[in-house]
Homo-oligomer: A and B are copies of this chain.
Amino acid sequence: MIKDKIKTSKPQEKSQRARKSEVTRKRILDASAELFGEQGYFATTLRQIAKRAKIDAGSIYYYFDSKDEILDEVMEIGIRAVADAVKEAVDALPDTTTNREKLEAATKAHLNTLLKFNAYTSANIAIFAQVSSEAQNRNRKLRQDYAAYWHELFDAAQKSGEISPTTDLSLVRLFLLGSINWSMQWYDPKKKSIDELALSFCEMMFDGISGANTEC
């Protein structure tokens, strides 16, 4: 809708109007992401979204064609946000970084985005399973791309010998990301920092918890 019009205006000098419009649009999306994450998609009403975005419920339809369209955009932003955060974190590391360290950085970034910084990502992870399969499918490509990026990280670690050659990389990825995503349901910032948690996760995954290890 409006989005298109804004993008076609000259980039260097956006009118005040266009800027205000963008701000309102973002307020709606922000409110939606928060509420979807807190209550789920179906339990969230457009009137709640409108109230939190400080506009009238009818006005939402100036920016979006339907509640479903909001959902799609929230979910898309959510996946892009983690993916970007993770890639950025990994890219920022020096060349000398080991692959295990890269995976640790990725885990930290994912966990921080999910638990602290990004309501869109929380919403995506929280509600994906409960929305219609159509809505899921619209988000699937981005999720697969993100999974593929993690696979590369794991693959590099295996190739360099940091992960045992017999390890099923797909399974271990699902194992790690499952744990991470599930932490949404129990994480309490008062008890442990997010970065510590991420490192603990990686340590468990890499070294295991077996008491026999120490016998080496």
Contact = CB atoms under 8 A, between A and B. Distances in A.
Interface in A48-90: none
A216 B214 CA distance: 10
A127 B39 CA distance: 11
A139 to B, nearest CB: 13
A179 B181 CA distance: 9
Interface of A: 39-40, 42-43, 126-130, 158, 161-165, 167-168, 171-172, 174-186, 197, 200-201, 204-214, 216
Contacts of A158: 211
B204 A130 contact: no
28 contacts: A39-B130, A40-B40, A42-B42, A126-B129, A126-B130, A127-B130, A129-B184, A129-B185, A161-B211, A162-B210, A164-B209, A164-B213, A164-B214, A165-B211, A171-B200, A172-B209, A174-B186, A175-B200, A176-B179, A177-B182, A178-B180, A178-B186, A179-B182, A182-B182, A204-B208, A206-B210, A208-B210, A216-B216
A177 B45 CA distance: 32
Nearest to A42: B42
Contacts of A162: 210-212
A209 B213 contact: no
Given A43-B42, A178-B182, A210 B164 contact: yes
Nearest to A167: B209
